[in-house]
Amino acid sequence: MNRNLARLAVPVGIVGIVLLLVVPVPAALLDVLIVCNVLLALVILLTSMFVKKPLDFSVFPSLLLVATLFRLGLNVASTRLVLGQGYAGQVIEAFGKVTVGGSLIIGAVVFVILVVIQFVVVTKGAERVAEVGARFTLDAMPGKQMAIDADLNAGLITDVVARQRRAEVSAEADFYGAMDGASKFVKGDAIAGIVIIIVNIVGGLGVGMLQRGLSITDALNTYSLLTVGDGLVSQIPALLMAVSTGMIVTRSNAEADLGQAASTQLSQSRTALLIAGLAAVVMALMPGMPPLPFLGVGAALIIASRRIRPSHDGDASSDASGAGGGEAEQDPTQRLMEEMRVHPLEIMLAPDLVDLVGGSADDLLARVKSLRHKIAMDLGVVIPPVRTRDSVELPPSTYAIRIAGVEAGRGTAPSGKLLALGDFLDALPGAAVVEPVFGLAGKWIPAEMRHSAELTGATVIDRVSVLITHLSSIVMANAARLLSREDVRVLTEGVKSASPAAVEELTPGLLSLAEIHRVLQGLLTEQVPINDLTRIYEALTLRAKASTDPEGLIESARLAIGPALVRRLMDGDRLTVITIEPVLEQSLVQDLRPAEGGTQLVMEQSKLDSILASLSSAVAAAESAGKSPALVCAPVLRAAVRKLVALPPSGVPVLSYAEVTSTSVNIETIGVVRLGAATVSA
């Protein structure tokens, strides 16, 4: 019931405002409505002070319009009573007589001062702040969206958080755009107040002198005083609403309301309060100055400065000295041994790139931590900690990624620059570069050119995101190398705690840790996730009882997690595949030969070139149609065929018929590999 009343409150109020414009209102009801108007403005002002961020009061622009219409409706109703009856209720009469002492001149001066404060100071400033805030918010919106996408791709946030942040960015842009327009209501309200009071004074003189035969003095005392009282009654809530508007548009997102934030930040410096208190005491001693107010305020400031806790500078310095002492006390031999040790994964930074490793939540170290979490969720393996250090051997603005001491990738990330990727970058400054992961053309542009680059349709990426994307690509491609024997032992212990039978039957009786390590490396080489280790170990147990051939073990493990493999390659509810012509497939089975590293295909070079060309043609046709296909073949051929297509230009995942049929899936055949040329489905 209460919820329904709340939903009807605003529509009913709007209808009431319309009635105020056309239906006469009794003086007693007008008093009640005027009091409601003043208290509504006061509640809005206090609410704007206690919100932590502007979006917490997102209804403010619409509420401002309703309050302005309500106030103007009251002006019309009060004008009708003043001019028609010479009486508009006790509230207006009290403001006309008690507030300004019954003096028309004092009332007019007070009204003009209130108008100047509202129109020239508060409203003008709020209008400008709202306009600038709206423009800056809209200009920054594409960059914020790109930052959200970068955080999502780097694994810093989940899909749910990304959607929430996008909604907040959109809501923020809508809010500041609405505030830019709503500030015009406040400005128009101030102008309307001046016009209304002038019209009412002229109209009151006309009614008093022409219709009622009053003298000019009596007409002024009767109608003009009521008009000034009416203007003051309307102008005070208007001033409160103008202050509320300025309060909202000047608030920044904070963890506390205005009162708490102001008290905390104003009291953060003991020295500032102490100097202000001493200055007040000195001013009290000056000749002609009243000593008591200055001494009272000065003593209060000095006492407040003594009660504030000291800043944390000393703690920070002590922490720094402690850290420095610990480093100084480190054994030089241990430090040398640490430098000699080959680390599994390293990021080497040129000296001018050390600013990437900062103390913020979005620096390189935090992003690397999130990347490790993302890869662990995707592949089921925890990559080793990434060691980050500077190197004077690297050229300026250069970083290098090493795996086991061997450089696996290198790129640049100039300080103060952003990477712009797109097709229309000629008008932007900077030398042309090639993005290291996807090979896209780009330019490193100054950070202040972000908006200009986005206007050309370019995608702008910050330096940390470029490095993290490069690191992610290298780690995914070398996951098998990064999986150590110790990692396999830890993973096996984890499976044993959850499914003891799966491990106890497999190792050490059937397979050693070294053989399991080899199987898991084979899976990671094809970027097959190994997070379902229980199912993988159960499949290895069954296969190892017949043969411990590594290739057979890998194929058995793949078949056990076939549904997960297929799901990763599906586009929605459909799997796009390329098949091999049955005659060619039978010919390839006859070309199989056993080898030390597993089965391989032995055939003439011309036949191999024809098959690879046919496959590349089918893949290119599928990609031009916006699809990512997988090559499907007989189970006996899968491992050997995968070795042929693992390298560019094909680079297509290879599945066996058994893996595809292990789950219910809609299959779309887009091409057939044959000798000579591929057949592509429409």
Instruction: Summarize pLDDT for 530-551 with one digit per residue, the tens.
Output: 988 999 999 999 999 998 899 9
Q: What is the pLDDT of residue 6?
A: 61
392 is written with which tokens? Answer: 């004077």
Characterize 329-356 residue by residue with b for buried, 16 or more Cβ atoms within 10 angstroms of its Cβ, and e for exposed: eeeeeeeeeeeeeeebbbbbbbebbeeb
CB 554, CB 639: distance < 8 Å: yes
* pLDDT at residue 307 in the model: 74
Mean pLDDT calculated for residue range 653-670: 87
- Confidence (pLDDT) at 319: 39
- Location of structure tokens 């299959």: 667
Whole-angstrom distance, CA of residue 111 vs CA of residue 150:
55
Give the pLDDT confidence score for residue 135 in this predicted structure: 66
pLDDT in tens, 145-171: 676 766 666 666 777 777 887 777 777
Position 432 confidence tier, pLDDT thresholds 50, 70, 90: confident
Q: Which pLDDT tens digit goes with each residue over 61-106?
A: 777 778 878 877 877 777 777 776 666 677 777 766 655 555 666 7
579-635 pLDDT, tens per residue? 999 999 999 999 998 888 788 888 888 888 898 888 888 888 888 888 889 999 999
Q: Give residue 541's pLDDT.
A: 92
The verdict on pTM exceeding 0.85 is: no
In sequence order, what are the residues at sequence separation of 6 or more whose Cβ sits closer than 8 angstroms to the Cβ of residue 298? 276, 277, 278, 279, 280, 281, 284
- The pLDDT value recorded for residue 315 is 40
Identify the weakest region by mean pLDDT among 9-23, 46-60, 91-105: 91-105
| DSSP secondary structure, 317-383, as one string | HHHHHHHHHHHHHS-HHHHHHHHHSPPSEEEEE-GGGGGGS-SSTTSHHHHHHHHHHHHHHHHS--P
d(CA 208, CA 223): 8
Q: What is the pLDDT of residues 450-474, one digit of tens each?
A: 888 888 888 888 888 899 999 999 9
Amino acid in the structure at residue 523: L
Specify whether the CB–CB gap between 529 and 484 falls below 8 A. no
Pairing relationship of beta strands 459-461 and 417-421 according to DSSP bridges:
antiparallel
pLDDT at 268 over 80: no
- Predicted pLDDT of residue 263: 65
Residue 21 clears pLDDT 90, i.e. is over it? no
Which region among 207-211, 258-262, 403-407, 457-461 has the lowest average model confidence (pLDDT)?
258-262
Give me the residue label for tokens 């944390």. Answer: 312
Q: Which residue has the higher pLDDT, 415 or 314?
A: 415
Residue 494's contacts (CB-CB under 8 Å, 6 or more residues apart) are 533
For 506-517, give the DSSP string: TTTTT--HHHHH
End-to-end CA gap in the chain: 60
Buried b / exposed e along 264-291 (16+ C-beta atoms within 10 A): eeeeeebeebbeebeebbebbeeeeeee
Model confidence at 664, in pLDDT bands (50, 70, 90)?
confident
In the Cβ-directed half-sphere of 622, how many Cα atoms lie within 13 Å? Answer: 27
- Local confidence band at 312 (pLDDT 50, 70, 90 cut-offs): very low
Cβ–Cβ under 8 Å, residues 228 and 197? yes
- DSSP states of 565-632: HHHHH-BTTEEEEEEE-HHHHHHHHHTEE--TTS-EE---HHHHHHHHHHHHHHHHHHHHTT---EEE
8-state DSSP, 410: E
With cut-offs at 50, 70 and 90, classify the pLDDT of residue 127.
Answer: low
Distance CA 297, CA 295 (A): 6
Q: Report the SS3 class of residue 78.
A: helix
Average the pLDDT over 505-521 and give the result. Answer: 89
CA distance 67 to 60: 10
Condensed to tens digits (0 to 9), the pLDDT of residues 113-125 reads: 777 776 666 666 6
Q: Tell me the residue type at 468.
A: I
